[in-house]
Chain A
Amino acid sequence: MAVLAIARDDVSAEFFDGTARGELLLRKCLKCGHINAPHIEACIRCASPELGWQAAGGTGRVQTFAVVHLRGDPPSRLVVAKVGLAEGPWIDAQIVDVDPDQVHIGDEVTLDFETPEGGEAVPVFRIADR
């Protein structure tokens, strides 16, 4: 099973405008320049609430992951990870097109997007070529 359809709300509208054009927008602090995760409301480093947007470069590493077993006919598995982006922030995302038994903490991953029917585009990752 792939990514679930979700909707935008007022707070996340700019973020999903970004995913629609193939960008993962992160929150850049306008005061100290620190790069924060997309949902952050105040800079983790300097506490300023004045944040802009900056697109992620699209690489990161698997910090941890779980392999979710889905009952169904046939049963399936999906890989959910916390990905540490090269810029610093961690985000929860699915690792797609991978044998779940071949995922390891520390694996390098690259960004892509999936757009389920009726939902916003959502960031996913693929294991980078080894």
Chain B
Amino acid sequence: MPGISRSPAIAGIGITEMSHRVYGRSSSQFAADAIRLAAADAGLEIKDLDGLLINAGITQGVGLALSHELNMVDLRMLSEIQAYGSSAGAMIQYASMAIANGMADAVACVFGDAPLREGTSTGALYAGEGRKPSGFSALPLASGVRGAPVQYAMAARRHMDKYGTTSEHFGHVAVSSRAWAQMNPRAQMRDPLTLEDHQNSRMIAEPFHLFDCCLVSNGGVAVIVTSGDRASMLQQPPIYVRGWGQTHPGYLPDDSNQQGLVSGAALSGPAAMKMAGVSLSDINVAEIYDCFTFTTLISMEDYGFCEKGEGGEFVASGALAPGGSIPTNTGGGQLSSYYMWGMTPLSEAVIQARGQGGERQVGQHDVVLVSGNGGCLDHHSTLILSSHEN
């Protein structure tokens, strides 16, 4: 890449305590803790950080004031980034460009959120209950499109109708994620899950059962991006950010609409792999944004791990599971481990690329693909991470 003199690399990662029931701490406190943990992981002090990128979750509880909470002075880069579930990938991309061009030397990218409150259902929160709806944006709400499960259920139904994908196919994604989660001490859902359990779980929005839907968590995750040269002198093995891409399909409300049929991965994936100088067969591990089982299935198709329309058979083959041909969501993903938007796949990708996955560590882990997804397949980001610079 012309003009780029310093390869960006991930030097630190911080994951706060998380569970279904961590109350009494603010989004901002989680975010600050995540940064402290990430700095300590890298072997850096907070004062060594000269860049901060912030992605606030659904409660919008973290902002620029986070820099004050951490007493950060003379930052050379400070911004909030918002592209929903694709934000984590986007933050790493912007940080990488800043590192490569010398704008900053060590950038913390952080997500923090605390949507769970005692006595309030998360469904109600994500559906925006309590806010007074008005205008055009309220029409879908009035009609019953309340919350992400309904939107994604409509998207998934199109895939089922066109390609013969079934609820059992979705179930295989949930079962595979749970099998990985059972080996992840940080995972919130570690009880065994069978296809039958998936099929018997209550309906949320047909075609989705409960176990097609992700968790919601309180917590924070931070990642520190620096130059490869600097990272190699620090505490952890550097994980190079080799390639990246974004796609925002902008699905239009007419017959051109491919929502549920083709995701942003179809463009973002090849762009990221081209930048990294790798092909699909080089990828050892896939960490895919999985707000719903269907999101994993369509993303894998669009990245090219199987033919278009064959995602159902592909996931049913066990390809994603422990021992499968492309180990996917190896920490349990958002379905079974923890829900930190795009930080869930990113954090597990760094753990795997370093070889620190413990019982769930994948043998070959040189090149890891990380997928972010936001809105209803409206925003997509891809990262190619590697323990090798080239």
Among B14-22, B58-66, B136-144, B190-198, the stretch that binds chain A is B136-144
CB atoms of A7 and B134 under 8 A apart: yes
CB <8 Å contact, B254 and A69: no
**What is the CB-to-nearest-CB distance from B164 to chain A, in angstroms, rounded to a whole number?**
13
What range describes how many residues of A lie at the interface?
35 or more
Cβ B205 vs Cβ A69 within 8 A: yes
- Given known pairs A64-B155, A66-B154, the reply for A9 and B206 (CB within 8 Å) is no
Does B132 belong to the interface (CB within 8 Å)?
yes
Does residue B360 face the partner (Cβ distance < 8 Å to A)? no
Bound: A22/B202 CA distance, A: 38
The answer on a CB contact under 8 Å between B206 and A4 is no
Name the interface residues of A58-111: CB closer than 8 Å to any CB of B. 63-69, 77-82, 84, 88-94, 100, 105
Given contacts A80-B150, A80-B154, A90-B254, 7 further A-B contacts (CB under 8 A): A6-B141, A9-B135, A37-B254, A44-B254, A66-B206, A67-B205, A69-B202
The answer to whether B135 and A11 touch across the interface, beta carbons within 8 angstroms, is yes
Cβ-closest chain A residue relative to B153: A66
A7→B138 contact, CB < 8 A: yes
Q: Closest CB-CB distance, A68 to chain B, in whole Å?
A: 5
B157 at the interface (CB under 8 A from A): yes
B contact residues, total (Cβ < 8 Å)? 36
Q: Which of B134, B145, B253 contacts A9 (CB 8 A)?
A: B134
Q: A8 interface residue, CB < 8 Å from B?
A: yes
Distance between Cα atoms of A80 and B187 in the complex (Å):
34
Across the interface, do A92 and B140 meet the contact criterion of CB distance under 8 Å?
Answer: yes
Tell me the bound Cα distance from A82 to B257 in angstroms. Answer: 11
Distance of B161 from chain A, by nearest CB (Å) = 5
Q: Which residue of A lies closest to B161 (CB)?
A: A105
Least distance between B348 CB and chain A CB atoms (Å): 30
Which of A67, A77, A105 neighbours the largest number of chain B CB atoms within 10 Å of its CB?
A67
Instruction: Report how far A23 CA is from B272 CA in the complex, Å.
Output: 47
Bitwise, B251-288 to A at CB < 8 A (1) or not (0) is: 01111010010000000000000000000000000000
5 tightest Cβ-Cβ pairs between the two chains A and B? A66-B153, A39-B136, A67-B206, A9-B135, A7-B134
Question: Is the Cβ of A7 less than 8 Å from the Cβ of B139?
Answer: no
Q: Indicate if the CB atoms of A64 and B144 lie closer than 8 Å.
A: no
B78 sits at the interface (CB 8 A): no
20 residue pairs A–B, Cβ–Cβ below 8 Å = A4-B133, A4-B143, A6-B133, A6-B135, A7-B135, A8-B134, A12-B136, A15-B136, A40-B253, A66-B154, A66-B206, A66-B207, A67-B205, A68-B150, A69-B203, A78-B144, A82-B154, A88-B254, A90-B254, A93-B143
Q: Given the complex, which residues of B lie within 8 Å of A7, measured CB to CB? A: 132-135, 138
